[in-house]
Structure 1
């Protein structure tokens, strides 16, 4: 069975963005060493819009062949006139307000997103990349099989949490830790079953 992986950037105090969701400030930590790691290990998480100009559009997907993202994340692509931000994967956008997809390669999920994820998990193939904010992560928290947390060396004090989920103890097992000279740490956890 495929797994759902929450691949997410966060501050050292656990916020994935400013209170309004902006997370552009994290890009200051993407230096050559860290970018080389992302290209080698998680190339599919780099949006198509950036892959083409960088000449890395030929990189093969290693972990994911499907992406599910929230409306706010998808809106960032739309603001940049990109209707298919992950053209190298199957794309799902969770939204109650979008009634039609602006792109035939993007499917809108407006109903039970957890049921949709369970359906996708039963299919063959690579994993599912959860690319979204706190709200979507909160809706799917009990479906998340893996956390890949990119912790950036910055302290925000407040902002958008890692997941907007009610309190419950959910245990994970540490799989790996990779640190970089710029202070970024990538920690991978698997759900304890």
Structure 2
């Protein structure tokens, strides 16, 4: 069965973006980038990977899930299909996507993910945002957190509002970089 992987950059105080979706404070230069780009090339926007000469073969992930706000980040810049090398699903009940390469869904994200997990293929990447992550928390099999040496103070939390419901994950690997970025991977403990 395919895994749902929540792979995301996060500040030390638990935010994946600023209060208005800002993410430009995250470090995109430094020794951490070579490791991230090698291990997670499929999570780089297609145009960026092409510009950098990074091959994307869909071996790690082949599907990306986004909430509307995550998808909409690129729209003012004319980016209507950010991950055109992947199957792209955007969860929205009120917006239309501007590309035939992107699927919009108003369905319950949990039901969609359960169907996707039953299909053949590589992992499913939960790109963001925090509200969608909160909805899908029980379906997440693996967390890969790119902890950045930053405090945001406020913003969009890693997991939006969700009721108190402890769920256990085991750390399976951590790499600390000189840049201060720490990439930690966790697997869900299933009963």
Q: Distance in 2 between matches of 1:116 and 1:59?
A: 25
Gaps of 5+ in 2: none
Is 111-120 or 158-167 further displaced after alignment? 158-167
Q: How does 1:1-193 map to 2 (within 5 A)?
A: 1-26=1-26, 29-56=27-54, 58-98=55-95, 100-164=96-160, 165-193=162-190
* Deviation at residue 5 of structure 1 after TM alignment: 0.5
Q: TM-score, normalised by structure 1?
A: 0.93
**1:81-122, Cα deviation, whole Å (9 max, x unpaired):** 011100111010011112x43111111011211100000000
* Deviation at residue 60 of structure 1 after TM alignment: 2.1
Gaps of 5+ in 1: none
**1:169-190, Cα deviation, whole Å (9 max, x unpaired):** 1111111001101000001001
Deviation >6 Å, runs of 4+: none
| Count of residue pairs brought into register by the alignment | 189
- RMSD in angstroms over aligned alpha carbons? 1.2
**1:38-94, Cα deviation, whole Å (9 max, x unpaired):** 2210001100121122222x3323310000011011101212201110011101001
Q: Distance in 2 between matches of 1:36 and 1:108?
A: 32
The answer to whether the Cα contact below 8 Å between 1:42 and 1:62 also exists between their aligned partners in 2 is: no
Q: Distance in 2 between matches of 1:53 and 1:151?
A: 25
Q: Distance in 1 between matches of 2:94 and 2:164?
A: 28
The answer to whether the Cα contact below 8 Å between 1:2 and 1:126 also exists between their aligned partners in 2 is: yes
**1:113-134, Cα deviation, whole Å (9 max, x unpaired):** 1100000000011000001111
Is 73-82 or 58-67 further displaced after alignment? 58-67
The answer to whether the Cα contact below 8 Å between 1:12 and 1:154 also exists between their aligned partners in 2 is: yes
Secondary structure, aligned partner of 2:103: strand
